[in-house]
Amino acid sequence: MAPQTDIPVAANVLGTIGTVLWCVQLIPQIWTNWRTKETTGLPGSMMFLWALCGVPFGVYAIAQSFNIPLQVQPQVFMALCLINWTQILVYGSKWPLWKASLLSLVIACVFAGVEAALILTLKPIYNRGNETPIFVIGVIAAILLAAGLLPPYGEMYKRHGRVVGINWIFLGMDWSGAFFSLMAVVTQNTFDVMGGVLYILCAVLELGIFGSHLIWLARTRRLRKRLKQEGRTFDEVLEEKKKDGEEWRWADREVPDLKKMWLKVWKRDEKEKGREETDLEKQEQAEGGRDQSHLPNNDGTGIIERDLEKQKGGTAGQELGNNMLAEAETQKHNGSEENTGASTPTMVNEENGREVSRT
């Protein structure tokens, strides 16, 4: 669609309200993170995807010549999301503050540079009537915005629908900001489809978060009431069951850790790669041995030919030794037979001699 040229007053007012809400909506969450020093239940992927969403969102808003508040909105939204992401690295992943802050600052500079480059590149193309690039940018922004709201659903599934770690004031302000921004788009002279989809997705998915926690409260109302009478809280019982290793209906579900799964797959691939390299080395060594069998020695013969000659020489020597032993045995046997034949007549003659003398 063509860029907005004449912005109605109502659109500016509603857009300003939405921008103010989205400029401050993450401050309660930042305050909660800092006060509790805890970010359990607040997915880091949610904040990073939202910060990343600010790049195409800002490009789209500026290229479409939205009212000024709606053009500023993505930039502030991106900055606040990066602050929350930094807190998650510090409190959740136990990163040093300087390291997490430096990383976030570098990412912010990269995001700003990419957004500026896209605006300078795509806006002239859009102004010439080619809407495809900006449309693609809007689609990417909508996908990233929706994707950023999916990780909380994983946390809710893990806790049977309960919402943990997300500040309700932040969520309420965020939903209100999406709603007023949507109304600003509606009241413009021309309704922008992609801009409307962005705000509708945000509002609907956040309503799902509200609804999930309300359902959890309804399902556990009797249990929480009974625990309150006993002077205990739901979290205390949950922790006791976890330490004792007892199965409990409301115990946290096991959710696959995508990071661990990826590391496991990566290690398996590395192991298979190492095994393939070892097999390849063995194959190359075997081929090298076969090649060396034909290499000439100093006397002009090959290694295998030389080994065969050694084997033949050893066999010939063994055969000669066996022949000599056989001849020696034969001679010994013949000698014993000759001695036996010579002694026999003598004995006969002696016996005859005795007979003669007797006569």
pLDDT, tens only, 183-224: 988 888 777 777 788 788 889 999 999 999 999 999 999 999
Query: CA 248 to CA 293: how far, in whole Å?
Result: 71
Q: Do 123 and 109 meet the contact criterion of CB atoms below 8 Å apart? A: no
pTM (two decimals): 0.66
Task: Show me where the domains of the chain are located.
Answer: 9-219, 293-354
Query: CA 198 to CA 186: how far, in whole Å?
Result: 13
Return contacts of 251-254, CB within 8 angstroms, 24+ apart.
Answer: 252/158, 252/159, 253/157, 253/158, 253/159, 253/160
User: Which of the residue ranges 16-20, 48-52, 259-263, 291-295 has the most confident prediction, judged by mean pLDDT?
Assistant: 48-52
Query: How is residue 241 written in tokens?
Result: 């069951």
Q: Which residue has the higher pLDDT, 345 or 246?
A: 246
Question: DSSP 3-state helix, strand, coil percentages of the chain (rounded to 5)?
Answer: 80, 0, 20
Query: CA 257 to CA 263: how far, in whole Å?
Result: 10
User: Which of the residue ranges 29-33, 293-297, 311-315, 338-342 has the most confident prediction, judged by mean pLDDT?
Assistant: 29-33
Q: Which residue has the higher pLDDT, 306 or 84?
A: 84
Measured at the alpha carbon of residue 199, what is the angle toward residues 194 and 205, in degrees to the nearest 5? Answer: 120
Whether 359 shows a pLDDT value over 70: the answer reads no
Whether 130 shows a pLDDT value over 60: the answer reads yes
